[in-house]
Amino acid sequence: MAGKQAKVLGDDQIRQLLAYADHGRHSVRDRVIALLSVKAGLRAGEIAQITWPMVLDAEGHVGFHIELHDRIAKKGGGRRIPMHGDLREALIRWRELSDGQRTILHSERGGAMTAGGVANWFAVAYRELGLDGSIANAFEKKTGWLGYYWAPTAILGKYEMTKLSFGVEHDKKEWDACTAVPDCANPKVNAYPTSDVYTIVTKQFSEKAGVAMDYVKTRKWDNQTVGKVLAWMTDNQGTNEDAAKYFLQTYPDMWTKWVAPDVAEKVKAAL
């Protein structure tokens, strides 16, 4: 049986793949996954099993070559691969955040990624790229784009979009009875529902943490702000802590209303 042919990407598709990697919850790791494929030519199994010693030099720093060992290479074909600058930069960034495990890439559960996990990551990426990539391409080429998307997301935080009306209000009864039912015989135009987000605390917390509860009750922000913060994280490969500092530095008019004036001044002084 013939093997499945590898997907060959053009320059525009590579840019879209890297943009997709930068949008996820594990953006630094995902960028490494993408670059190991498109800039080093590694297969899914090789990406899953590559270890830090294969990319470090004699002094323990990320080097300029990948020493791919026979034991993880397809058909035992180990090789020495020059390391692309973008990949080296991504590995340096990822090494700063990694937890010292021998394998470079880890799953969300903490263990080493499998070849199937890597292959699935690319499958999801290529499926979703059709949407994110089309938005990015439309802005780059200054052409129109019409479609459906959701917020808050990094892509809508990065690109300014205009929400179009369905011409009707959301009808929950109709939604439950027909809109959300596959193959409904008589669907009607219906606006998409807005999802409510709740902060849930224990009864004990609500009764004893008076100051904290005041903050929880007061704190609120809109999708546009969340999207802009997500976009900043993507563009700068920022961590959650980086994003929190960015938000505090960039949106004082918003968050200072959530806390007492003396607390706001202490936070500002600590930034």
**Domain coordinates in residue numbering, the chain:** 11-130, 203-270
Q: What is the mean pLDDT of residues 160-166?
A: 88
Q: Is pLDDT at 80 greater than 60 in this prediction? A: yes
Q: Would you state the structure tokens that stand for residue 7, as one six-digit string?
A: 């997907």
Q: What is the CATH number of domain 11-130?
A: 1.10.443.10
Dist CA 233 CA 23 (whole Å) = 8
CA-based torsion, 218, 223, 224, 230: positive or negative: positive
DSSP string, 168-205: S---HHHIIIIITSTT-SS----PPPPPP------HHH
Which is higher by pLDDT, 10 or 82?
82
Q: Would you state the structure tokens that stand for residue 71, as one six-digit string?
A: 């034991």
Q: What is the mean pLDDT of residues 189-215?
A: 88
CA neighbor of 149 nearest in space, from 167, 163, 168, 165: 163
- pLDDT band for 51, please (50, 70, 90 cuts): very high
Min mean pLDDT across 32-46, 116-130, 200-214 is at 116-130
- Predicted TM-score (pTM) of the model is 0.55
Q: Is pLDDT at 5 greater than 60 in this prediction? A: no
Q: For residues 53 and 66, is the Cβ–Cβ distance under 8 A?
A: no
- pLDDT band for 100, please (50, 70, 90 cuts): low
Dist CA 75 CA 77 (whole Å) = 5
At 262 the pLDDT is: 94
At 268 the pLDDT is: 95
- pLDDT band for 7, please (50, 70, 90 cuts): low
Q: Is pLDDT at 138 greater than 80 in this prediction? A: yes
The rounded percent of the chain whose pLDDT value lies above 90 is: 40
pLDDT mean across residues, the chain: 86
At 244 the pLDDT is: 92
Q: How far is residue 18 from each of residues 12, 33, 186, measured CA to CA in Å?
A: 10, 10, 42
Helix (H, G, I), strand (E, B) or coil at 163: coil
Q: What is the mean pLDDT of residues 250-255?
A: 96
Q: Is pLDDT at 99 greater than 80 in this prediction? A: no
Which is higher by pLDDT, 132 or 105?
105
Min mean pLDDT across 41-50, 94-103, 104-113, 227-236 is at 104-113
Min mean pLDDT across 59-73, 111-125, 182-196 is at 111-125
Q: Which helix (H) or strand (E) holds 17?
A: helix 11-23
Q: Would you state the structure tokens that stand for residue 62, as one six-digit string?
A: 């990320």
Min mean pLDDT across 214-223, 229-238, 251-260 is at 229-238
At 168 the pLDDT is: 93
